Structure 1
Amino acid sequence: MTHDLSRRWQLLAIVLVIGFLVWLLAPVLMPFAIAGMLAYLGDPLADRLERRGMNRTLAVSIVFFVLVLLLIGALLLLVPLIYHQVENLIRNLPHYVDWAQNVALPWLQHKLNLDPDAFDTGRLMAAIRAHIGSIGAVATSVLGTVSRSSLGAVMWLTNLVLIPVVSFYLLRDWDHLIAYIDRVLPRSVQPTVVHLARESDAVLGAFVRGQLLVMLGLGIYYGGSLTLVGLSVGPLIGMVAGLLSFVPYLGFMVGFGAAIIAALVQYGDWTHPLVVCGVFVVGQLLEGYVLVPKLVGDKIGLHPVAVIFAVLAGGYLFGFLGVLLALPAASVIMVLLRYLLERYRLSDLYTEAGPDDPVIAEVNVTLDTPAGEGKGQASTSVAAPPHPDGGASP
């Protein structure tokens, strides 16, 4: 018993040290985390090519080349599109400001019975002018800091170079790394860790590969549908909605709100906003009944509130790295929690029957007595507590 307790404390200390090191080195781990995700995505394809007779280096080279081509193609396709969409948005920004001043804000004032000066643009502009000096000073300070921090720019460039290099070597040596980790695990916990690792791999595979396809599908659907509706910024709204769809309902809410405002500003009628509503209703049905069940499945089992909490907690603890890894980490944590719940239900703490309490037993016997038998016994069946002086209670 003492040996088992000591071993558990040692394992807990190892886990805590690893967690502390990850938290401490979070800014440095960004390229390695992205490279690890790319290697994880490419490993099944490399294994499939290897089973067909290729050596590991050739298989990895082919997979790596395909990933690089896909990345370059996506950049060549998306960068000009995003550039034109942002340029279009900036060009139409005065129309949005005019609509907000002359349509949206007066409507809110009328419906909510607000003070007519609540949204006085003159006062807002005066306040901005009053603080423009401090804003300029802050901007100058920030620009000076950025211009002086050449080390930061060098680090970013280094990370960009490190990601493909680390991805290639991780992908090439992935099976060797897994085998090495398996060899160094304590033999007492190795079967359990292997079982949890396989279950986590199934969950992560369903999430990472499936959720990326869901985001891509929703982005294409929303962007294409809003473009067919006639919105000039439809592709940009569709891309944002698809990108944010990894958080439940966030992509829907952001995309729906932006599309409704764009339709009202661009057309000024109610027909196009109603069509936009139809587009997003169909999008939700497509996501809930086709894309997620087919591509992700029900292996993850994360509640929407848990997803939102995981993203916020990951961002607070580890910054952008935490946001990037929040949902995969939450999926693995759910696997561990399900395992701990199963162990708890098999433990003595859960299965052991409660002690026989004579007072409770006597009350249960009295309550189970049929009506009409022994009336008045319920009030006297429970033994009175002993008198403080040691005698019987009166």
Structure 2
Amino acid sequence: MTHDSMRRWQLLAIGLLIAWVAWLLGPVLMPFAIAAMLAYMGGPLTDRLVRLGMWRTLAVSIVFTVLLVLFVVALLVIIPLISRQVENLGDNLPRYYSWFQGTALPWLQHHLHLDTHLFDPDRLIDIVKSHIGSIGGVASAVLGKLSRSGMGIISWATNLVLIPVVAFYLMRDWDKMLAYIDRLLPRSIEPTVAYLARQSDEVLSAFVRGQLLVMLALGLFYGAALSLIGLSVGWLIGMVAGLLSFVPYLGFIIGFGAATIAVLVQYGDTTHLLLVVGAFLVGQLLEGYVLTPKLVGDKIGLHPVAVIFAVIAGGYIGGFLGILLALPAASVILVLLRYLVERYQHSELYTDPGAEDPVLEELEALEGADAAPADAPDSPTPAH
């Protein structure tokens, strides 16, 4: 085995070991991942204050205080709003149920030829009663697990306390940690890793900061538009649609479906339905032609199918933490794939023309001979 081959195998082994340790520690990495995202968002402002001559700990304290104040203000605004919207939703549930029984269900039964007793309340109650034993068993098992895992509540509370503490220290020592990691890298790969890190930083900054602004802007737009239309739960539907917009078309589908049902129940006329359709069409145009190009740009370059696959795969592999990190990880993987493609296009495997294939030449000659009579012009008839 050559020296280069041994070095590659060593680097591969180190990378697999790091990935394996991260997978093992996945359940405890949640607060650190969220703290890293907060530190990453506050890092540029901290660096700007440091460049102005401010002591880094003071700069971090100022940025951290600003982020904390913004978070508290957002909670003071959002929690009462969500509370009122949930109350409106609860007040409208009887109306939704009557609309489903009197309008939606007969339409479905007529067009889909469903059994008229399929959604009969008495039948559903009988089904629940027949399975009440198994439901009770499941409930007792769940309650038993919750009682045995009381430490889980303590763990969540600890994580909530850890997030701001870890974020503060990450923001303060971010440059030192990066410099330490750079010193640990093998000198042979340090330039390549530094280049990929810069590219990944551009992609992640475009995603993390830009996509969050897009989600917030869409949530405010949808919420304001649906409230102006007159929906009593307009803000709740709008904010949910905006927050889910990081997955292509998911926020639009869920928001539009919920708003359509709400407007049909509350008004039941074509005018308000068309207003809802117009609001979501304007929202899609705003997202596609204004918000995403201006705030996110084209640096990420992830296809919508790739985004959906990344979110599903992240949730399957790492649960909520996987969903949280799916798109940033996919963006970094995209940077690595672009680099590998460039390396491949400069390699001998791609640029070597190779030797002529005699069999291929013979087949091409036969195809040319077969096509020649059909392509050749008609020969003149000899004169007599």
TM-score category (smaller protein): over 0.9
Q: Specify the alignment match of 1:61 in structure 2.
A: 61
Give the Cα separation in 2 of the matches to 1:228 and 1:357. 71
Q: Specify the code of the residue in structure 2 equivalent to 1:259.
A: A
Q: Specify the alignment match of 2:382 in structure 1.
A: none
Are 1:289 and 2:253 counterparts?
no
Give 3-state SS (helix, strand or coil) of 1:7's partner.
Answer: helix
Q: Specify the alignment match of 2:372 in structure 1.
A: 371
**C-alpha deviations, 1:310-361, integer Å up to 9, x for none?**
1111111111110000000000000000110111111111122233222222
User: Do the aligned residues in 2 keep the contact of 1:101 with 1:121 (CA within 8 Å)?
Assistant: no
Structure 2, unaligned runs of 5 or more: 377-384
Q: Normalized against structure 2, the TM-score is what?
A: 0.94
After TM superposition, the structure 1 = structure 2 runs for residues 1-394 of structure 1, keeping only pairs within 5 Å, are: 2-368=2-368, 371=372
Q: Specify the code of the residue in structure 2 equivalent to 1:111.
A: H
Higher mean C-alpha displacement, 205-214 vs 311-320: 311-320
Give the Cα separation in 2 of the matches to 1:215 and 1:142. 35
Q: Normalized against structure 1, the TM-score is what?
A: 0.92
Query: How much is the aligned-residue C-alpha RMSD, in angstroms?
Result: 1.6
**C-alpha deviations, 1:27-57, integer Å up to 9, x for none?**
1000000011111111100000001110100
Q: Specify the code of the residue in structure 2 equivalent to 1:127.
A: I
Runs of 4+ in structure 1 deviating by more than 4 angstroms, as ranges, are none
Give the Cα separation in 1 of the matches to 2:151 and 2:114. 51
Give the Cα separation in 2 of the matches to 1:26 and 1:359. 55
Give the Cα separation in 2 of the matches to 1:213 and 1:304. 19
Q: Kindly state the Cα deviation for residue 372 of structure 1 after the two structures are TM-superposed.
A: 5.7
Give the Cα separation in 2 of the matches to 1:357 and 1:324. 52
Q: Specify the code of the residue in structure 1 equivalent to 2:290.
A: V
Q: Specify the code of the residue in structure 2 equivalent to 1:327.
A: L
Give 3-state SS (helix, strand or coil) of 2:88's partner.
Answer: helix
**C-alpha deviations, 1:232-272, integer Å up to 9, x for none?**
10000011001000000000000000000000111122221
**C-alpha deviations, 1:362-385, integer Å up to 9, x for none?**
232344458369x9xxxxxxxxxx
Structure 1, unaligned runs of 5 or more: 376-394
Give the Cα separation in 2 of the matches to 1:172 and 1:59. 9
Give the Cα separation in 2 of the matches to 1:125 and 1:229. 37
Q: Kindly state the Cα deviation for residue 149 of structure 1 after the two structures are TM-superposed.
A: 2.1
Higher mean C-alpha displacement, 109-118 vs 65-74: 109-118
Q: Kindly state the Cα deviation for residue 103 of structure 1 after the two structures are TM-superposed.
A: 0.9
Q: Specify the alignment match of 1:392 in structure 2.
A: none
Give 3-state SS (helix, strand or coil) of 1:371's partner.
Answer: helix
Give the Cα separation in 1 of the matches to 2:309 and 2:227. 33
Give the Cα separation in 1 of the matches to 2:267 and 2:372. 77
